[in-house]
Amino acid sequence: MTWDPRRLPSQAGRTIVVTGGSTGIGYWVAEQLAATGARVVLAARHAPKAVEAIASIRAHVPDADVVHVPFDLASLAAVRETAAAIADLGGADVLVCNAGLVVPSRRRETTTDGLELTVGGNFVGHFALTALAFPVLRDRVVGLGSLSTRLVRLDADDLMSQRRYSAFRAYAFSKHAVQGFGFELDRRLRAARDARRSLVAHPGYATNALSESRPGVWSNSTWWQRSGGRLTFPVGQGKDRGAWPIVRAAIDPDAASGDFLGPRDVLGLRGEPVRHEPAPSSASPEFGARLWELAEEWSGIRFEIPGG
């Protein structure tokens, strides 16, 4: 596949939902997609941050069509309201499941529904949103994976960290689950002969310190931030570039369902977006099938693909 992240194809007339689109990687995904002419829906928890993000996007993308809908991954009731809001907007062509807890608590915490916060939010919340919005989704779902899945061995019997908890372990488990769900959704879509697509993308090693400045959203204003950027430059990149694989997964017409996209370099840390191989445990059909059952149990939502 050939792709130039600096020259994106027009998405005029399409609607793209980006969860967590007011900060971090999600902000850059939203700004880059807004520049294609798409209507971008920021599904974000904090309304003031969403207002700042929309103002920043419009400052850099004149006439950008951007709106905000409330979204809280840690509440299944709130997720239902977000899905209803997406339907009220006329549905969406693309759902980018970007939001999530990146720096979990040092102690195990739970969502309002009693699920371990990191997996319950990062994964179960997005499973629920995808299932509820699926009837009004026209093209594809993009899940946000992570290189942490190559660093932490999957324990599929302890995804909720009931036996043992550590912050990074819980984060990696959440990303194993996000990836496993994305690939299982692809398998089920194919089995149902459904033309919609499910893809997974990861940003590599992307930091704010190397990102372009976006006053009101992000600015490299301190000596520490500027120094950190110089130190991580050999192996990392800004979040503006970390957004590239996610944007490609969202709008590349040649990207296939089941693709796993990430930065070009051999470790997947930085560079232009290309196809990669995921961690085998995340891509396992056995894990995917079991994960789907667990997600339905945890969320209380039955997710069936018509024709499957």
Q: Which residues have a catalytic role annotated?
A: 171
β-partners of residue 214 are 218
Distance from C-alpha of 185 to C-alpha of 207, rounded to nearest angstrom: 30
Following DSSP, what letter does each residue of 55-94 receive, concatenated? HHHHHHSTT-EEEEEE--TT-HHHHHHHHHHHHHTT-EEE
Give yes or no for a contact between 262 and 201, defined as CB atoms under 8 angstroms apart.
Answer: yes
Q: Which helix (H) or strand (E) holds 17?
A: strand 15-19
Task: Compute the chain's Rg from CA coordinates.
Answer: 18
Return the percent helix, strand and coil in the chain, to nearest 5. 45, 15, 40
